[in-house]
Structure 1
Amino acid sequence: MDILIKNARLSDDQSLTDIAIEAGKISKIAPSIEGEATRVIDAEGRVVIPGLVESHIHLDKALIASRKPNKSGTLKEAIEVTAELKPTFTKEDIYDRAKKVLDMIIPNGVTVIRTHSEFDPAQGFTGFEVILKLKEEYKKFVDIQVVAFPQEGIFKAPGTEAMMHQAMEMGADVVGGIPYNDAPANDHIDLIFEIAKKYDKDIDLHQDFADEADHMSIEYLCQKTIDEGYQGRVSVGHLTALHALPEEKLTPILELMAKAQISVMALPATDLHLGARNDEYNVRRAVTPIRKLRDAGVNVCIATNNIRNAFTPYGNGDIFQTAMIAIPVAHLGGADDLPTVLPMITENPAKALKLDGYGIGEGNKANLVILDTKVVNDAIIDIPTRLFVIKDGRVTVETTKTVTVHQ
């Protein structure tokens, strides 16, 4: 064995177990495993989880909040500020900032990232090329899926359609889109499907990011997904407009989303910051209805979106903290709800991203995290130190924790 983890806690209602790792995979899980191992790690009853999945983040425009702040805190100004700054980005600048963010994220236990990397005729592929380079450089630490993302729209920015095809040929993993920032939204969606089908790639859209539910295209997207046979291959981020719908209008949409097998990346840190800025009283949370989506059978994930820029002027790369924000925001702290949160940053995004060999099971990839907590149900609310991160059967992060209380 390359690594033998002893006394691991995989659930709160089962005994401790051992996990054997060989050749990058989990070779055996049993109450007691004997034999020689290059390294033995005694978890001492601590929780072991699969590697965390950061399913929606923008590495190329992180860490720029101080350059030109979004003073109104609105989505409109965030888009305007970022569009103004993007032409000033150099490859070296994007590389340095994106690398810093990766170095923040990886020690927190993330082993898979889906990042939206944008381009347009004004800036070219400056950032996109950098992200593809970092994908290769960091592959021993994290698997990166790159989304070809037209932030400024496609029809609104002539020349972007050709760049979308070029991005796919350059190595993009997923076709991105932003219907609400283009016109008309349905034509934008049609074009995204055309590109995705040509290259046989999944789709991930920034969808219906608004305080009101008066210009949504989610229903069109769902029906298009079904008509094109793309069930289970489409993800959407934000989807905040759903929060403004009464039950009788929301329910049929949720049913249609479940039928289309749409995955939703909830982004509470960003959407709480930007949403409901015009509400003078009774200020709304303006976050996609996580509980209702979950209860309707929709695959719900929690992700970070942005770190320290005009869209989200805070963040430290710890997806546990983002999940912790979601707990009170979405009323997920109840006894029956709390156990559903950890899967929103592990199993659910793994399903959305179609990760092969994911999870703690024999024969699966050895991407694991040992947490400094002994209760699985407390894995989020403890925000525990990630003591060990194992990627493809190799210890990539080891954290030593020392606490001294002086009397």
Structure 2
Amino acid sequence: MPSLADRSADLVIRRARVRDDAPLTDIAIREGRIVAVATDLDVDAVQTLDVGGRATLPGFIEAHIHLDKALLARARPSVSGTLDEAIRVTGELKARRDRADMLERASRVIEMAVQHGTTTLRAHPDVDPIQGLLGVEVMLELRERYRDLVDLQIVAFPQEGLFKAPGTEALLIEALRLGADVMGACPYNETHWDDTVRHIDRVFEIAARFGVDLDMHADFADDTRDPRFAAVSQIARKTIEMGYEGRVSLGHVTSLGAVPPDQLGALVDALRRADIHIVTLPATDLYLGGRTDTHARRRGLTPVRDLLDGGVNVAYASNNVRNAFTPFGNADMLHVGNLLAHAAQLGTPADQARVLEMATTRAARAIGLRDYGIAVGNPADLVVLDGMRVDEALLDLPPRSWVIKRGRIAVTTRHCCELHRAHALQDTSQ
């Protein structure tokens, strides 16, 4: 672990506003990690960046995004706006297996995300007999192409189900062998509850075999009348049985919002005991939720406040960008956080601080990063906002002035609004 014992650093960020109730702070970085956080650091640096009191946060983490399906709205816009239509239309589009098109669309979204301060993404490419392994292969190529700018985790995601789509299991195993980082799941996309249970059991077995974490799409509905969309208890039990506490994330979980208060507490406690992470996806969930309601329309969010207050780790993410699932978005975590704060009524100063955590330190936990944040020893992944207060980030949605990835300036927008590859940057101290 690098230290500041010899008073030298690769990069020193001067006069950063890390906390609103503390003096401006210097951050020294060496070998991609933070080695000192203090006021008026006495250190010799190869490179110095004076941010002039701007709010400085850990780099944003996009904990759940579908890069392979992004920006498909122009090719096939939604007509009804329903989940069933989105799955059907996207299935037809992905059957084309157009590698060049997927590379171009996914690259555009990665660059959007990086310019908006995201330093890590967890992508969920579809793995099924329709698309085969194309999504995983493209993500592997992009992971290498953008490695100086962003870390890309790859989830092997069976969108079409396991038993409903024969041949998917073999493809998932091959995806993990190729280099996918995480085992995905979609247990509600089976034909009946028994296969949902089998789906859950099988993905745990495969994950354990390869020693990888699990990230499931789960309980994506407005109510719990269909047991396929009420699988939280089953997943929590299986997590503990397999010794996978802390290694399972669930995306959506919207039907949990329809559970009566006298039942919700037990489910929240089960998630807490299993140390399962919940990733709410407000743009998609709000757009698709309550479609069949004729009045008093439900808004389709997981009960974020109840989960947080119950000790469950919650993060948020974009999920989809401009396709039939979500026709909006620009991969900006502050925009999504602002939407979530409105929809989940997280508007007090304390709640807004929690929303920022849900895009940074809480999101890091949800994707398996245990040492994250502005502290000595942690990776030097940072975003400097063009605003002077941390507590106004969700209010002002300020431009991102600089993005730091592994201790190197990956993005500079305050002066030139241009994306730079980290290895091509000139030394700003000269």
Which TM bucket (shorter chain)? over 0.9
Per-residue deviation, residues 284-305 of structure 1 (Å, max 9, x unmatched): 1111111111111100001000
Moved over 3 A (4+): none
Q: Which residue of 2 aligns with 1:294?
A: 308
Code of the residue aligned with 1:387 in structure 2: it is: S
Q: Secondary structure at the match of 2:349?
A: coil
Shift of 1:90: 1.1
Shift of 1:356: 5.0
Determine which of 188, 203, 206 is the counterpart of 2:217: 206
> Contact 2:182–2:212 at 8 Å: present in 1 too?
yes
Alignment of 1:108-119 (within 5 A): 108-119=116-127
Q: Which residue of 2 aligns with 1:236?
A: 250
Q: Which residue of 1 aligns with 2:38?
A: 30
Alignment of 1:8-27 (within 5 A): 8-27=16-35
Alignment of 1:54-133 (within 5 A): 54-133=62-141
Measure, in 1, the Cα distance between the counterparts of 2:43 and 2:171: 54
Q: Which residue of 1 aligns with 2:202?
A: 191
Measure, in 2, the Cα distance between the counterparts of 1:20 and 1:109: 19
Determine which of 57, 63, 72 is the counterpart of 1:49: 57
Q: Percent identity?
A: 47
Change (3 A) 1:296 1:356: closer
Shift of 1:34: 2.4
> Contact 2:386–2:414 at 8 Å: present in 1 too?
no
Question: Structure 2: which 5+ runs fail to align?
Answer: 1-8, 417-430
Measure, in 2, the Cα distance between the counterparts of 1:317 and 1:36: 36
Q: Secondary structure at the match of 2:188?
A: helix
Code of the residue aligned with 1:335 in structure 2: it is: P
Q: Which residue of 2 aligns with 1:140?
A: 148
Query: What TM-score results when the alignment is normalised by the length of structure 2?
Result: 0.91
Q: Which residue of 1 aligns with 2:419?
A: none
Code of the residue aligned with 1:289 in structure 2: it is: P
Query: What TM-score results when the alignment is normalised by the length of structure 1?
Result: 0.96
- Corresponding pairs, count: 402
Measure, in 2, the Cα distance between the counterparts of 1:182 and 1:87: 20
Question: Structure 1: which 5+ runs fail to align?
Answer: 403-407
Determine which of 148, 162, 171 is the counterpart of 1:154: 162
Code of the residue aligned with 1:343 in structure 2: it is: E
Measure, in 1, the Cα distance between the counterparts of 2:130 and 2:306: 40
> Contact 2:12–2:27 at 8 Å: present in 1 too?
yes
Q: Secondary structure at the match of 2:63?
A: strand
Measure, in 2, the Cα distance between the counterparts of 1:385 and 1:375: 13
Aligned-CA RMSD value: 1.2
Q: Secondary structure at the match of 2:121?
A: strand
Q: Which residue of 2 aligns with 1:380?
A: 394
Q: Which residue of 1 aligns with 2:287?
A: 273
Code of the residue aligned with 1:180 in structure 2: it is: Y
Shift of 1:401: 5.5
Determine which of 229, 245, 262 is the counterpart of 2:276: 262
Alignment of 1:161-172 (within 5 A): 161-172=169-180
